[in-house]
Each structure stands twice: as C-alpha cells, then as structure tokens.
Structure 1
Amino acid sequence: MKVNYSKGLLLKGVPVIFNKKGANISIGENCTIKSSFLSNLVGLYSRTIIVARAPAAYIYIGKNVGISGATIYARKGIIIGDNTAIGGNVKILDNDFHPIEFEERNKLLNDKNGGNSDLVPAKEIKIGRNCFIGCNSIILKGTVLGEGCVVGAGAVVSGKFEDNSVIVGNPAKTIRKLK
C-alpha cells in the first residue's frame, strides 16, 4: 500500500486516507488538506477522505492543491492538476459505487468475497491545472476538466469541458469562457 506525499503538506485536522493493496496515492508539494470543522468557514460536513479502493486504482494530486472536507474516491483513477482549489464538501467519484442494473447489484450484494469490483462502473477523472471547484459540487466518473475551469457551487459535473470554462448547474453545463 503506497501513499506518497511531498514536502510542505499541511494538514488542518485529521483526514482519512486509505488505499487497497496495489493502489497508489500521491500528494504533491505544498498541498493543504482541511478536515476540521472550523478550518473552512463554509462549514465542512466531514473530514477529507481520500480513498483508492481497487488494487490498480490511483489518485495523483498535484502541487499547491487545496482540499476542504472533500471526498476523493477512486476505483480506476483520479488526477488533480497543480494549483487547483477543491471547495468544502466536494465529492470526486470515479465510480458509481454499485451497478445500475438490479441483477448486477444483487450479485454484488450476495458476493461473500467482498464484492466484485468489475461489476461497478468506473472511469478515470482528470482535473486540469489552476481549476476551482466550488463547495458541495459533485464530479462524476469520466469527467475531464480542462485547465483553468471554474465549477460553481453545487454543480453536478459529468462530461468533458474545455479550458477556462465556467461550469454550473445540474446537470452542469458551460455558461461562459474565461479569458
């Protein structure tokens, strides 16, 4: 089980960081992870949770990234670019946690060996450099955010977005481009 972090990591509160055997979590230089209630006055619902849940899963967090009470959960992979700010209570989830079809869900529920992760739909997430993800947003599996994207508070994001997009809503869409 590998969790690598670089110099300058600042923890405000105690995050939950877990990875499965064979998974990889890497946190770049000068990152700040906020996990205590008063560390972000937007009001954090829980500690930051970073989980690589499958044997080949990975989470790569770039340099100078700020995270506040977010959940980052990978079964495939999540890449977060340098200088990105992840607001309070954000969820970044590269998987559905369970199959959509009830027959497959029942197979998973009845599996005595801990669940067949191949039944859980998952797709890599890529978040570019210099992005801002507003509080209470959800970034869903397969999402690609270009460089400099801004995600509005509470957005439910799925799909591919060009550099410098301002993304809002449920379902999220680009409302304008930044210069």
Structure 2
Amino acid sequence: MVPQPGRRPRHGPAPRRTGLRRRIGRGTGAGSGRRGTGRRGTRGEDVRIRPPLNCDFGYHIRIGARTFVNFNAVFLDAGPITIGTDVQIGPNVQLLTPTHELDPERRRAGWEKAEPVTIGDNVWLGGGVVVCPGASVGADTVVGAGSVVTKDLPPGVLAVGNPARVVRKLR
C-alpha cells in the first residue's frame, strides 16, 4: 500500500466501532423535546463515551445528559439500561442485564432472561464496578472501584466491596 500525501499508512486491524454512537442519535435524549424512534436507544446532550464500548444491542440503553463513560465499558443490554444525568462511569465498568436459569435443564436448553439496570442522577461508578441484573443505584451515590452491586443501593451513600455494602451516608 502506497501512503497518500498527508496520510500515514495504517498498520494492523481497523479500530473497532462500538455501534452505540450510530444507534443512539443526538438530540433524542432526555430534555431534547424529541422522542426516541423505534428500536433506538437515547442519549442526552454532551454525553461523552470513550471507546471501546461493548454492548449487545444498543437500543435498550438510555443515557442522560452530561454523562461520561470511560474506556472499556460493557453494557449488556438484553434488558433496559437507564443511566441518569451527570453520571461518571469509570473504566472497565460492566452493566449487566442478562441472567440465566438456575434450573439445570432450562439452562442447558439456553433459556435466558433480562432484568433492568438503573443508575440514578449524579452517580459515580469507580473503575471496574459490576452492576448485576436487576440492581439499581440511587441518585448521588458513589460506588467504590472494584465493587459488585448485587442489590439496590439507596440514594446519597458510599458503597464498596463484593457485594457492595453501604459504608456511610454522603449527605
């Protein structure tokens, strides 16, 4: 391949596209005055997402305005994922909605279901946080790095650990 003037040759595979940006249209998010269309997720104004972001579908994800998603996020959106406004999401965070059957026969047959994940407004999820299916994080809550959220966390608390436990109130 001969390089073109002003362009350097690209070595290795092309950068991965996450698909979320093209599936979640600008201007259809919270506060835009327009509704999302059909099978399309939404994002508010001034949302910043650092690639790569890996997701199952992209159209079950709702992201509020001024939210920041750092590198290597995984949003498995077999069910709804709702992220509030002004949320800070650290690197390597996983928001997981799929869950599998406990019954061995149904699990072997491939049965799967999804439970929603909800992140409130002004939440900070530290690096490496995992939010399990059906769990929600209340507004103004901080979840420490590496924590695993298995149950709902109330608003305005600091939670850490595996499983994540409230260590103190923030307000």
Select 2:113's aligned residue among 105, 111, 121. 121
Q: Match of 2:148?
A: 156
Q: Match of 1:114?
A: none
Q: Match of 1:18?
A: none
Which protein shows a greater Rg? Answer: 2
Q: Match of 2:4?
A: none
Structure 1 position 51, deviation (Å): 2.8
- How many residue pairs align between the two structures? 139
1:170 maps to a residue whose letter is: N
Q: Give the number of the structure with larger relative contact order, counting CA–CA contacts within 8 Å between residues 6 or more apart.
A: 1
Select 2:54's aligned residue among 49, 55, 60. 49
TM-score relative to the length of structure 2: 0.75
Q: Match of 2:96?
A: 93
Fraction of identical pairs, as percent = 29
User: Could you say what secondary structure the match of 1:5 adopts?
Assistant: coil
Q: Match of 1:67?
A: 69
Structure 1 runs not aligned, ≥5 long:
8-21, 36-46, 109-118
TM-score relative to the length of structure 1: 0.71
CA deviation string 1:96-150 (max 9, x = no partner): 2x43332122212xxxxxxxxxx21321111100000000110011111111110
User: Could you say what secondary structure the match of 1:83 adopts?
Assistant: coil
Structure 1 position 70, deviation (Å): 0.5
Structure 2 runs not aligned, ≥5 long:
1-21, 28-37
User: Could you say what secondary structure the match of 1:104 adopts?
Assistant: helix
Structure 1 position 89, deviation (Å): 0.4
Q: Which has the higher strand share?
A: 1
